[in-house]
Amino acid sequence: MNEIDIKKIYNLKIKEYLKHNKQYYEKSRPIITDKEYDKLKNEIINLENENLNLKNKNSPSHNVGFKPSKSFDKYKHKVPMLSLSNAFSKEDLINFEKKIFNYLNANLKFNYSVEPKIDGISASLTYKNKKLIYGVSRGDGKVGEIITENLKTINDIPIEIKDKNFPNEIEIRGEVFIKKKDFLKIKDNFANPRNAASGSLRQKNPLVTKKIPLNFIAYTFGYINKNSNKYQSDFLNELEKWGFKINKDNIILNNINEIIEFHKKFEDKRFDLDYDVDGLVYKVNDLKLQDRLGFTSNAPRWAIAHKFSADNAFTQVMNIEIQVGRTGALTPVAKVKPVNIGGVIVSNATLHNEEEIKRKDIRVGDFVKIERAGDVIPHVIEVNKKKREKNSKPYKFPENCPSCGSKTLKEYNKSTKKYDAVRRCTNDSFGCDRIAIEKIKHFISKEALNIDGLGKKVVEKFWKLNLIKKPQDIFNLDYSKIKKLDGWGILSVSNLKTSIEASKTISLQKFIYSLGIRYIGIENAKLLSDNVKTISNFVEIAKNKQFYKFNNIDGIGETQINSLKNFFTNELNLNILIKLKNILSIESNNLNKNGILKNKNFMFTGKLEGISRAEAKSLIEKNSGNTLSSVSKNLDYLVIGMKPTKKKLEQAKKLGIKVISQEILIKLLNKTY
> Annotated catalytic sites, by residue?
117
What 3-state class would DSSP assign to 460? Answer: helix
From the list 97, 145, 171, 175, which residue makes contact with ligand IVH (rule: CB under 6 A)?
175
45-53, 116-124, 403-411, 426-434 -> range binding ligand IVH (CB under 6 A): 116-124
Q: By C-alpha distance, which of 430, 413, 431, 432 is closest to 330?
A: 432
Q: For residues 372 and 648, which CB has a smaller minimum distance to ligand IVH in the complex?
A: 372
Q: By C-alpha distance, which of 221, 299, 256, 271 is closest to 116?
A: 271
Residues 334-393 that bind ligand IVH (CB under 6 A): none
Q: For residues 174 and 378, which CB has a smaller minimum distance to ligand IVH in the complex?
A: 174
Shortest gap between Cβ of 328 and ligand IVH (angstroms)? 30
Residues 421-480 that bind ligand IVH (CB under 6 A): none
CB 99 within 8 A of CB 612: no
Number of residues that bind ligand IVH (CB under 6 A): 13
Q: For residues 220 and 524, which CB has a smaller minimum distance to ligand IVH in the complex?
A: 220
195 binds ligand IVH (CB under 6 A): no
DSSP 298-318: SSBTTEEEEEPPPEEEEEEEE
From the list 304, 305, 444, 640, which residue makes contact with ligand IVH (rule: CB under 6 A)?
305
110-118, 391-399, 413-421, 599-607 -> range binding ligand IVH (CB under 6 A): 110-118
CB 390 within 8 A of CB 421: no
Q: For residues 117 and 423, which CB has a smaller minimum distance to ligand IVH in the complex?
A: 117
111-119, 419-427, 598-606, 634-642 -> range binding ligand IVH (CB under 6 A): 111-119
556 binds ligand IVH (CB under 6 A): no
Show the DSSP H helices in 31-165 as ranges. 34-50, 90-104, 148-152
Which amino acid, 159? I
Q: Determine how many CB atoms are found less than 10 A away from the CB of residue 640.
A: 23
Q: State the angle between helix axes of 3-21 and 34-50 in degrees (0 to 180), rounded to the nearest 10.
A: 150
x-marked contacts with ligand IVH along 23-62 as a string, rule CB under 6 A: ----------------------------------------
Q: By C-alpha distance, which of 464, 465, 311, 297 is closest to 379?
A: 311
Radius of gyration over every alpha carbon of the chain, rounded to an integer in angstroms: 28
The alpha carbon of 169 is separated from its chain's Cα centroid by a whole number of angstroms, namely: 28
* Residue 341 β-bridge partners: 344
Which amino acid, 562? N
Q: For residues 263 and 441, which CB has a smaller minimum distance to ligand IVH in the complex?
A: 263
CB 584 within 8 A of CB 619: no
Shortest gap between Cβ of 438 and ligand IVH (angstroms)? 25
102-110, 112-120, 257-265, 578-586 -> range binding ligand IVH (CB under 6 A): 112-120
CB 265 within 8 A of CB 282: no
Shortest gap between Cβ of 258 and ligand IVH (angstroms)? 18
Q: For residues 87 and 440, which CB has a smaller minimum distance to ligand IVH in the complex?
A: 87
114-122, 251-259, 517-525, 617-625 -> range binding ligand IVH (CB under 6 A): 114-122
x-marked contacts with ligand IVH along 82-101 as a string, rule CB under 6 A: xxx-----------------
Q: How many CA atoms lie within 13 A of 276 on its CB side?
A: 23
Q: For residues 375 and 486, which CB has a smaller minimum distance to ligand IVH in the complex?
A: 375
281 binds ligand IVH (CB under 6 A): yes
Using alpha carbons, list the distances in angstroms from residue 4 to 13, 15, 16, 43, 44: 14, 17, 18, 17, 16
Shortest gap between Cβ of 567 and ligand IVH (angstroms)? 32
Shortest gap between Cβ of 73 and ligand IVH (angstroms)? 21
Q: For residues 276 and 354, which CB has a smaller minimum distance to ligand IVH in the complex?
A: 276
Fill in the DSSP letter of residue 271.
Answer: G
Q: For residues 177 and 604, which CB has a smaller minimum distance to ligand IVH in the complex?
A: 177
Using alpha carbons, list the distances in angstroms from residue 456 to 123, 444, 460, 462: 27, 9, 6, 10
Q: Determine how many CB atoms are found less than 10 A away from the CB of residue 160.
A: 11
Q: By C-alpha distance, which of 514, 474, 513, 463 is closest to 496?
A: 474
115-123, 142-150, 577-585, 628-636 -> range binding ligand IVH (CB under 6 A): 115-123
CB 401 within 8 A of CB 350: no
What 3-state class would DSSP assign to 178? Answer: strand
300 binds ligand IVH (CB under 6 A): yes
Shortest gap between Cβ of 290 and ligand IVH (angstroms)? 10
From the list 44, 100, 118, 125, which residue makes contact with ligand IVH (rule: CB under 6 A)?
118
Dihedral of the alpha carbons of 443, 448, 452, 453, in degrees to the nearest 10: 10
Shortest gap between Cβ of 148 and ligand IVH (angstroms)? 18
The alpha carbon of 124 is separated from its chain's Cα centroid by a whole number of angstroms, namely: 18
122 binds ligand IVH (CB under 6 A): yes
Shortest gap between Cβ of 16 and ligand IVH (angstroms)? 39
Q: By C-alpha distance, which of 363, 362, 397, 354 is closest to 382?
A: 362
60-68, 78-86, 346-354, 488-496 -> range binding ligand IVH (CB under 6 A): 78-86
Q: For residues 173 and 352, which CB has a smaller minimum distance to ligand IVH in the complex?
A: 173
Shortest gap between Cβ of 152 and ligand IVH (angstroms)? 20
81-89, 145-153, 417-425, 491-499 -> range binding ligand IVH (CB under 6 A): 81-89
* Position with the least CB separation from ligand IVH: 122
Shortest gap between Cβ of 300 and ligand IVH (angstroms)? 5
Residues 207-236 that bind ligand IVH (CB under 6 A): 219-220
The alpha carbon of 446 is separated from its chain's Cα centroid by a whole number of angstroms, namely: 10
Question: How far apart are alpha carbons 669 and 673 in whole angstroms?
Answer: 11
Q: For residues 115 and 182, which CB has a smaller minimum distance to ligand IVH in the complex?
A: 115
From the list 44, 66, 75, 115, which residue makes contact with ligand IVH (rule: CB under 6 A)?
115
Q: For residues 293 and 539, which CB has a smaller minimum distance to ligand IVH in the complex?
A: 293
Shortest gap between Cβ of 669 and ligand IVH (angstroms)? 25
**Order of strands across the sheet with 303-307?**
85-87, 303-307, 277-284, 112-118, 251-253
Cβ contacts of residue 527 below 8 Å, gap of 6+? 553, 554, 555, 556
Using alpha carbons, list the distances in angstroms from residue 497 to 416, 467, 469, 479, 501: 49, 14, 18, 9, 6
Q: Determine how many CB atoms are found less than 10 A away from the CB of residue 386.
A: 6
Task: List interacting residues with ligand IVH (CB under 6 A).
Answer: 82-84, 115, 117-118, 122, 175, 219-220, 281, 300, 305
